[in-house]
Amino acid sequence: MKRDEVRNEEGRSVHFGLLTLVLILLLFGLVMLFSASMARGLVREDDTTHYIARQIVFSAAGLFAIAVLTRFPARRLNRSSLAAGSYLFVTLLLVLVLSPLGITANQHRRWLPLLPGMTFQPSELAKIVLVFAASVYYERLDSWRRTEDYGSRRVRRFERDDSGRERVRRVRVPLGPGGRLWRDFAWDFLVPGCALSVWLVLIGLQSHVSAMLILCLLLLAVMLGADIRPRSWLLAGAVALLLGLLLALTVWLNRERLLLLAENSSLVGKIVQRFGILLGLPGVSGDDVYQSEQALIAIGSGGFWGIGLGRSAQKANYLPEAHNDYIYSIICEELGFFGGAAIVLLFAAFMLLGFLIAGRQRRRFERVLVTGYTALISIQATLSIAVNLRLVAPTGVSLPFFSYGGTANFFFLTAVAMILNVSKYGAPAPARRTGAAARRLSGKKRAA
């Protein structure tokens, strides 16, 4: 271990600003969850503290995870075997969801039993594992790129020895510009995309559209943090545009069959229904738009300052998911525009601090890790708020640290733990010298 790394491990602490911000979000979220879940807890469980009590338990477990995961450098987890094992483990869990072990709730089979009376969604764990596995993958890919093997290919050549006998010898031939471009594209985009496609198929069979969307956006964010070369992005964009045009043409030519498929397929039908709600298309029933309309009523009722903490009317069984996917609407109703804007600013500050930490990292593994986990919480919060405001098609997206969901919030706090870990143990990138300092340094080099 290098001397500066030893000094970093002994003398640095976690990012105080980010830790403070997360604690504010967590405490704010517990207060608002208690307010949003009181009526539901009283009606369904005869206990106003039912939901908040469970949330506190998992939040405490998440804080304990932060304390544990910030005790050793995250780079010790940078192991190919660990990444591959975690990927296979999540794949197995997603398969088990579709088996008799899977638990159905609200007409969807997405959960597995955890403890007596507790369940969890493997798709939430998949978000955490995706970032970790991709960080290890791109770190190994970067190391491979620096070897002679990556920039060449093996070919067979027939040669004759001194006795005239013909023999085959394998030699390395450098790749041309075109071959190197396609190899970069394959390893940068195709391999991670194919690995994610396995999960997308399994999650699609659960009709979990929001998880599929978040995983795709998360992989894109990880790729942006992996410093993929611009020419690979250009080729990937051209391929994506071509595939998009072919898909659009196929949809248009087979639109009647797709409408029939939407009636018989839960996943396709759900996607069509969600876009119908967003765009106000004919054929959408009042039951379909009920939640979206009630959420907008709650937001509009709050005005600028809100009607007061704990005084929401919509949470009294008017808004079915007031304690979960639509908790932001209850916050706006009780705390008004001021409370809603405060949440947006808190998550914006979290995103800014996270990306600043990522930009300071010298190692690709740590940079991709922080970028991915920051993007996970930022994407999840943005989509949840957008669904409440009816800016995107309505689908189940929880608001990190606010929505009810013990295991989900535990995983979010685990993601925060990894960001804080890197802020403590990460190797900072060398500072760029500009102006007079850069000229003095170049002069010393020339003199030497």
Residue 407: CB atoms within 10 Å: 19
In a domain, 153, yes or no: no
Q: Show pLDDT as tens, one digit a residue, over the chain (448 residues).
A: 454 444 444 447 889 999 999 999 999 999 999 999 988 888 888 888 989 999 999 999 999 999 999 999 999 999 999 999 999 999 999 999 998 888 887 777 888 888 777 788 899 999 999 999 999 999 999 988 888 778 777 776 666 666 666 666 666 777 777 888 888 899 999 999 999 999 999 998 888 888 999 999 999 999 999 989 888 899 999 998 998 899 888 878 877 776 666 555 555 566 666 656 555 555 565 556 778 888 889 999 989 899 999 888 888 878 888 888 899 999 999 999 999 999 999 999 999 999 999 999 999 999 999 999 999 999 999 999 999 988 887 777 899 999 998 889 999 999 999 999 999 998 787 765 555 555 565 555 454 4
155 SS3 class: strand
Residue 275 burial by Cβ neighbours in a 10 Å radius (0-12, 13-18, 19+): middle
- Do the domain assignments include residue 111? yes
In DSSP terms, 105 is beta-bridged to 108
Q: Which residue has the tokens 């004759």?
A: 160
Give the C-alpha separation, 83 to 77, whole Å: 9
* Burial category of 227 from C-beta neighbours within 10 Å (exposed 0-12, middle 13-18, buried 19 and up): exposed
* Residue 426: predicted pLDDT: 84
Q: Which residue has the tokens 């190919």?
A: 80
Distance CA 166, CA 109 (A): 63
**Exposure letters 331-361 (e unless 16+ CB within 10 A, then b):** bbbbbbeebbeebeebbeebbebbbebbebb
Contact 422, 429 (CB under 8 A): no
In a domain, 183, yes or no: no
E strand or H helix that includes residue 21: helix 16-45
- Asked if residue 210 is part of any domain, the answer here is yes
Nearest to 83 by CA among 18, 153, 140: 140
Amino acid at 144: W
Q: Residue 448's pLDDT is what?
A: 46
Per-residue pLDDT, 11: 47
Q: Edge to edge, what strands does the sheet with 103-105 contain? A: 103-105, 108-115, 118-120
Element (H, E) at 412: helix 406-425
**Which domain, by its residues, includes 390?**
3-146+188-426
Whether 168 maps to a domain, the answer reads: no
Q: Is 209 a member of any domain? A: yes
CB atoms inside a 10 Å sphere around CB 63: 17
Residue 158, domain member (yes or no): no
Residue 365 lies in a domain: yes
> What is the pLDDT, as a whole number, of residue 80?
94
| Distance between CA atoms of residues 353 and 410, nearest Å | 21
Helical residues (DSSP H) of 112-186, grouped into ranges: 122-145, 177-185
Residue 367: what residue type?
Answer: R
How far apart CA 327 and CA 324 sit, in angstroms, is 6
154-171 burial: b if 16+ Cβ within 10 Å, else e: eeeeeeeeeeeeeeeeee
Predicted local distance difference test score (pLDDT) of residue 256: 73
Which long-range contacts does 364-367 make (Cβ < 8 Å, 24+ apart)?
364/135, 364/138, 364/139, 364/142, 364/226, 364/227, 365/74, 365/75, 365/78, 365/135, 365/136, 365/138, 365/139, 366/74, 366/75, 366/135, 366/422, 366/426, 366/427, 367/225, 367/227
* Domain tally, the chain: 1
